[in-house]
Amino acid sequence: MRDKILIISIQNSRYVWREDPLRQFSVLGLPVHIHENYLDWLAQRLQTNQGTHVVTINAEMTMQARKNPDLAKVINNAELVVPDGSGIVLYLRSQGKKIDRCPGIELAEQVVQIAAQQQSRIFLIGGAPNVVDTVVDGWRQKWTDIAIAGMSHGYFDDLLEQQICEQLQSSQPDLILVGLGVPRQELWIQKYRHLSPDAVWIGVGGSFDVWSGIKDRAPEWFSKNHLEWLYRLYQEPWRWRRMLSLPQFVWCVTKESLFNRQ
């Protein structure tokens, strides 16, 4: 059991405390947390200003972490590691764990909705110039009261990076979405989370591109059949080299399972 939060509910004018645990499992030595309702867990962290780093893990990130000890360390330190990728879910199911995918983009979207409704202050970093502006325009149409603490594209030089850091420190946002790609966003969050220690920080990969409308998500059929990677390869064929990590992941977990059985 990795972490616990206490939920208070009021019954018959009395406070009732309920423990709400995250269960932790290991995939190739990295943690993956299982919870029946990640959104509730995260909303609670947001409301109670408990600093949190959310990592949305998939097979590709797992294989990167095997070669990059700094990334592995960040994943190990994250308060919440959700199973974003089908490879992770299929592996854990093969180990008898009851687990469903939690696509990071959907979880982030739902957290944004909660943040918008309760006027938690949101900061966005990442994507090409103008992408986050388009995202924020869309959100402002949906939720007129949404509180945006700041935003920046993700192609910053040292000077702009320093300005972003100063803004993060002075504005103390509640929710910080960082879309710089893996592993840069995870390392960036680890490096700078002390600037806004009570915030929920989420590495959102290419989600800004999808929310701004410049990229599509795979149709539901692909994700239901664990083939989101295939759609991505069709959309972005230049990713083929990165995707070689998928068969490598299958090979590593198979080896590990056989070894553990002996």
- Binding residues vs ligand UDP (CB under 6 A): 126-128, 154-155, 179-182, 205-206, 208-209
Choose between 173 and 205: whose C-beta lies nearer to ligand UDP: 205
Residue number closest to ligand UDP, CB atom = 154
Q: How far is the CB of 258 from ligand UDP (least distance, A)?
A: 30
Residue closer to ligand UDP, measured from CB, 43 or 208: 208
Q: Which is nearer to ligand UDP, 31 or 126 (CB)?
A: 126
Return the number of the residue (239 or 255) whose C-beta is nearest ligand UDP. 239
Query: CA–CA separation, 249 vs 109, rounded Å?
Result: 28
For ligand UDP, the closer CB: 17 or 238: 238
Alpha carbons 37 and 241: distance in angstroms, whole number? 34
- CB of 119: closest distance to ligand UDP in angstroms? 26
Q: How far is the CB of 4 from ligand UDP (least distance, A)?
A: 29
Closest approach, Cβ 131 to ligand UDP, in A, equals 7
Write out the two tokens for 2.
């990795």
Closest separation in Å from C-beta 116 to ligand UDP: 21
Instruction: With CA atoms as reference, report the closest residue to 209 among 242, 181, 174.
Output: 181
Which lies closer to ligand UDP via its Cβ, residue 43 or residue 217?
217
CA 92 – CA 84 distance, rounded (Å): 12
Side-by-side strand order, sheet with 200-203? 80-83, 52-57, 200-203, 175-179, 121-126, 147-152
Angle among Cα 92, 37, 178 to the nearest 5 degrees reads 85
What's the closest the beta carbon of residue 178 comes to ligand UDP, in angstroms?
Answer: 9
Q: Token digits for 112?
A: 């944004």
Cβ nearer to ligand UDP, comparing 209 with 228: 209
CB of 154 to ligand UDP, least distance (A): 2
